[in-house]
Each structure stands twice: as structure tokens, then as C-alpha cells.
């Protein structure tokens, strides 16, 4: 995690090697330091992205989540990836201080 872009917390959600929803949820929980009670399902992810009280303390001025190496997951599970994108989009509509960006290159 780092702080930049007018005080926003920048978090990388690296999906390298992720091939299923469980893997995506585990990576999201780690990257976003979500609480132990995080339900690891689409609704829980949407709720977490839309709830400032769940965000890391450093994100008080906003949160930028950069999703890297997502292409393998998108290819392996296209329906799940479509749902993930819908969750990201909905969360951004609810939380104007949240941005989720899909990196086109790899993390390395």
C-alpha cells in the first residue's frame, strides 16, 4: 500500500495465479486488509468496498485499487470476472472516493 494521488491510498490487488472466486476473495481480503468476518462472497466484497469503516485507516481521503494480472482469471472464469467488474463498478457508483483501475500490463 502507498499513499499518492491527492492523499488517496493506493492498493494493488494482484490476481496473478488466481483461477477462481475463492482466490480472488482471499487476495482482496489481504490487499484491502479486510476484517476476519469478511464473508468472501460477492455481496461481502461489494459491502466492503462501499463502507468507509472497513477501509484501511490510511484511506480517509480516498482509495485507488489497482487490479493487476487479472487477465488469467478473466479467461479462466469469464462469468465470475464479469460479476467482479459489476461489483467494482457498483461500489464506485456508491463511493465517489473509490476508484478501481484494471492494469493492462503485468505486475512485474
pLDDT in tens, 46-100: 999 999 888 888 888 899 999 999 999 999 999 999 999 999 999 999 999 999 9
78-94 and 21-31 are packed helices; what angle lies between their axes, rounded to 10 degrees? 30
Beta-carbon count within 10 A of 11 CB: 21
pTM comes to: 0.88
Q: Which CATH number fits domain 2-102: 3.30.950.10, 3.30.470.10, 3.30.370.10, 3.30.530.20?
A: 3.30.370.10
Residue 44: closest CA among 102, 91, 101: 91
- Give the H or E element holding residue 12: strand 8-14
For the chain, the first-to-last Cα distance in angstroms comes to: 16
- Answer whether residue 33 shows pLDDT above 80: yes
- Distance CA(54)–CA(65), nearest Å, equals 14
pLDDT at 49: 94
Q: Which residue has the cell 505486475?
A: 107
Amino acid at each position: 500500500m502507498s499513499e499518492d494521488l491527492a492523499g488517496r491510498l493506493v492498493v494493488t490487488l494482484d490476481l496473478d495465479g488466481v483461477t477462481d472466486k475463492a482466490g480472488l476473495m482471499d487476495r482482496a481480503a489481504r490487499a484491502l486488509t479486510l476484517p476476519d468476518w469478511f464473508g468472501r462472497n460477492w455481496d461481502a466484497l461489494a459491502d466492503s468496498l462501499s463502507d468507509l469503516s472497513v477501509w484501511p485507516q490510511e484511506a480517509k481521503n480516498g482509495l485507488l485499487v489497482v487490479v493487476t494480472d487479472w487477465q488469467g482469471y478473466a479467461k479462466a472464469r469469464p462469468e465470475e470476472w464479469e460479476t467482479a467488474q459489476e461489483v467494482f463498478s457498483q461500489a464506485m457508483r456508491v463511493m465517489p472516493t473509490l476508484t478501481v483501475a484494471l492494469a493492462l500490463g503485468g505486475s512485474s
